[in-house]
Chains A and B, each alone.
Chain A
Amino acid sequence: MQALIERQQTKKAPPLFKAVIQSTYKENFAFRSSMAVSLIVQPIYFLVNYFIWQAVFQVNDTVSGFTLKTMLYYFAVSSLLGFLNWDNADGSLQWLVQTGRFITYQLRPVHYLYYSFFQKVGHRILAFWVEILPIIGFYLLFKIYPIPVMPIWALVSVSLSFVLSFLINYIIGTIAFWLVKTDGLRRAIMVIKDVCSGIFLPLTLFPSIIQKFLFILPFQFISYVPARVFMGSYELAGIKLSIPQIVGLQALMVVVTFFLNRLVWHLGIKRFTGVGA
């Protein structure tokens, strides 16, 4: 008996990231029917968009450089990116701060940022077969094959967007350090984020002044950039960049956002402990 206990103690514990991924996956498994609602919702949105563009392209051959085929391709890819990049880092963090529960994470040896990120990974692995694969299957019915022109670059770009969207949502969550009720504000930022990231429409459709503005914001790197990398060419606000260039810029944006994230967190904690809550 004693030997057994010793053996268990000497056996190395599984790495934390693996444990977090697994527990998040299992926790959310019970809610997969709720997740699967996307399988009704997304095809409906796609159909509406399909009809919109079909009607529009009846009169016009191209709109802002897009044909019916490339427009639907863009819509499909950006929607898949939306599912892949979705997370609730902002909501969870807000809840933890407002209920004071986030203290329990401060007492742990691992930073909550790390924890939260691997929660996202676990959650998205579940989403991969519940939401993403079936929706890809649906797109295939419309002969839309979401295969990137340059697979390696696309993989890099998608991974970067995965991290970037997490970091941005996390920053939005830290607003809870300053405001008691943040639901309204968070919703507002989320809508702006979605519109500016190009999840509904290619950003080149916007008026050129707005395009210049969108080019400066970090949001395009969440959805518009990886979608364009999938298509093999990038353009916004009249600026044309090669794929390596834009992916390099995306990587830079991830680094900048990371440091911004740390800064905001630091200020938030300072305020939190300063107030003495």
Chain B
Amino acid sequence: MIKVDKLTKTYTTYERGGTFREALKSLVVRKKKMVEALKEVSFEIGEGELIGFLGPNGAGKSTTLKILTGILYPTSGAVEIMGYVPWKDRKKYVANIGAVFGQKSQLLFDIPPMDSFLLNQSIYNIPEQAFRKTMNEMVEMLDLEKIVRKPTRQLSLGERMKCEFIMAMLHRPKIVFLDEPTIGLDVIAKGKIRDFIHEQNKNGTTFILTTHDLEDVEQLAKRVIVVNHGEIVFDNSMDHLRKHLGDKKSVHVTTRNPLPSLAQPGILIRKQHSNRDVELELDLSKLKLNEFIKEMNEKSIINDMSIESLEIENIIKDLYSQE
């Protein structure tokens, strides 16, 4: 459905000095600076996928997103989405996609969301019957019956974001791009929106999700692409991502007697709260879990213990910090 081949984007910026002298100088000679936002990025996405698209700030995430939505021209490389080249057939192409930006509202602030929906109906030229059907379905799914006729400015952030989803999906797009869709929302609103995305994905809509909220990714994405410094550093399933740093566990243990020496292969101390209380990372390939427990219990007597898979946060941190 989406084919991206050796996508490259470079642009030039001009450095401008802050002092008066530098400013005068910049009028005559401007220092050019080439920025390589994307370096030969390639990937493919199939129909019905739900992809988490991650990367630290300035990694090339939003540049990719802008190219895929037809907003930006690349420097080189090829993109084909549903048979269209986004930036070439922009108008025809974007009729088939939707986008939700957590930080940029598509709703008009002073009027009810309903009126914004109607405006979108004419812009996308959606037949009345289909429009009503889609809207009623979504409004019901998101519990918005009483909300859509109130002015947007009176809505809570969560209610507003739900309406943004309807706004972006009224024309039944086959692909929906989500950029930070749950930013600033409370737990309940987040959950509701995640359910909605799941539901729509089940019905066949492809989602590409960019976010800094790793919980979104963990709960939604089946596959994850991570970009850093304009290149793809990871592209595989969620399960693979979890095992990316090897088979490791995160352990929190408190003991009755002081802890033994933990300086041994396979143990990485994260936080030592006291000599009877420690958080650590266990590499199971070097130290088996049962051996670790046995040793701890024999030497110090375990009071309490929790064992969890490594938080995805640590894996992502590791991917982001790679040069």
Contact = CB atoms under 8 A, between A and B. Distances in A.
Interface in A187-208: none
Contacts of B18: 29
Contacts of B23: 29, 32
A32 B18 CA distance: 12
Judged by DSSP, the binding face of A is helix
A129 to B, nearest CB: 10
A31 to B, nearest CB: 12
Interface string A97-139: 0000000000000000000000000000000000000000000
A149 to B, nearest CB: 35
Interface string B1-25: 0000000000000000010000100
Contacts of A29: 18, 23
B231 to A, nearest CB: 33
A58 B85 CA distance: 65
Nearest to B16: A30
B151 to A, nearest CB: 15
Nearest to B18: A29
Nearest to A33: B23
A257 B18 CA distance: 39
B289 to A, nearest CB: 49
A32 B22 CA distance: 14
Contacts of A32: 23
B19 to A, nearest CB: 9
Nearest to A129: B20
Nearest to A32: B23
A29 B23 CA distance: 10
B83 to A, nearest CB: 44
Nearest to B19: A29
A89 to B, nearest CB: 26
A11 B207 CA distance: 60
Interface in B79-113: none
Interface in A24-47: 29, 32
Interface in A1-54: 29, 32
Interface in B135-149: none
A32 B23 CA distance: 10
A29 B26 CA distance: 14
3 contacts: A29-B18, A29-B23, A32-B23
Interface of A: 29, 32
